[in-house]
Amino acid sequence: MLAETRYEHIVINEARIPMISGTTMKVIELVLAQAAYGWSAEELHIQFPHLSLGQIHSALAYYWDHREELESDIEGRIQKAEKIRNSTPVSPLISRHEVKK
C-alpha cells in the first residue's frame, strides 16, 4: 500500500520510505547518485533513462523539502554499513593484498 504525497511523482511505501512512483527506486537512491557524481537532473536522466525528468525533479524537490529527515536516514545507513563492515572478518583476498603493500 502506497500513500500519496503532495509531490506528483513521489509516494510513501509501507515502510514509510519515499519512492518514485511507478518504480522501485527510492528518493534517497537518486539523491545519493547525484551527491556521489555531481550529476544534474539531465545527467541523472541519462543514467536512469527509465525515470522522466518530472520524476527526477519531483524527487529532488522532495529531498530539499525533507532534507534533515533524509540526511538522518543517510547517516543511519552509513553507521549500519560501518557496523557490519567492522563486525565482518577480513577476507583472505584482502589480507593477502595488504601483506603485499
Give the model's confidence band at 101: pLDDT under 50 very low, under 70 low, under 90 confident, else very high.
Answer: low
pTM equals 0.78
Query: pLDDT tens across 31-82, in order?
Result: 999 999 999 999 999 999 999 999 999 999 999 999 999 999 889 989 999 9
pLDDT for 100: 62
Up-side HSE of residue 85: CA atoms within 13 Å toward CB? 6
Residue 42 to residues 14, 53, 55, 56: CA-CA distances in angstroms?
A: 30, 7, 12, 9
> In CATH, what number is assigned to the domain containing residue 82?
1.10.10.10
- The whole-number average pLDDT for the span 1-15 is 88
46 is in which domain, residue-wise? 3-100
- As for how many domains the chain has, the answer is 1
